[in-house]
Amino acid sequence: MSGQNYAGAQRRSGRAVTGPETESSDVQRNAGRGHSQKTSGPGTGHEQVRLNAYLAHSGLCSRRDADRLIEAGRVTVNGRIAHPGEQVDAAGRDHIVADGRVIGTSASPIVVAFYKPVGVTCTERDPHADRTLADVFQFPTRLTYAGRLDRDSEGLLLMTNDGVLIDSMMRGSAGHEKEYVVRTVRRISDVDLERMRRGMYLRDLDTTTRPCRIERLGDRTFSIVLTQGLNRQIRRMVRACGGEVKRLKRTRVLNVELGAMKPGQQRILTREETARLYQAAGLKAPV
């Protein structure tokens, strides 16, 4: 990222961190809706984009949450209340206000790799949480996490101001890879690892997991690559085998690796990493 773009990111105001809690069918229904197109109105010739995608691109929120804001009548376009499915000018010529805040698209997408420590809850505010993400992650631009980790897990979180990237990465049907290293209290047998590898029925979720890649690393340690994000999926799979997770660390999301980072450390992705991430997520790489 150039110094000019980074300085521009620093000047943009807003909360430092927030994020969607889980995957949702709303995200799947909205898949692909954010693509821009030429307006059919006579004499305009301006590129149009759906309002929910515009709000997501701005870093305000995810596309799902943008839909909720619009449906609640909390967004105006050129002084009038917006309606679901509305299209706006992609270049920012329309005056858009959400909850009293004037919205503009982010000129430079930012993606930050952050090592979430154990004991940190992925939320902005939680009266019952000892530490939240807002307590340990600081950045001059408001960023949102793409794919949460539960409080007792640690490892790689991708933080970004691009809501469309988040929506793409959270879409379970896309099969995006996330890799973890798991340490259990007792040894999980080869037979049980094979059960997990092939896909197993989880009674409490009433669903069968997708096949996944598993490699034994030690007597009580293995790596696992998932292509879905069920709630506490790995812990539930291990429990279904009669075991218990002692330590769970996410080491990779798509092409981005945790590497040698330590808990609490963060780094901005390189231009090359960011381009490969967007391509892996099925999006056009930012210029």
Annotated active-site positions, please? Answer: 150
Q: Are 240 and 200 in contact (CB under 8 A)?
A: yes
CA 103 to CA 100: how far, in whole Å?
9
Q: What is the DSSP string of the chain?
A: --HHHHHHHHHS-S-SEE---S--HHHHHTTTTT--EE--STTT--EEEEHHHHHHHTTSS-HHHHHHHHHTT-EEETTEE--TT-EEETTS-S-EEETTEE----SS--EEEEEEPTTEESSS--TT-SEEHHHH---SS-EEESS---TT-EEEEEEES-HHHHHHHH-GGG---EEEEEEESSPPPHHHHHHHHH--EETTTTEEPPP-EEEEEETTEEEEEES---TTHHHHHHHHTT--EEEEEEEEETTEE-TT--TT-EEEPPHHHHHHHHHHTTSPPP-
Closest CA to 221 of 236, 238, 197: 238
Could you tell me how far CA 179 lies from the centroid of its own chain? 15
Residue 192 has, within 13 A of its CA and on its CB side, a CA count of 17
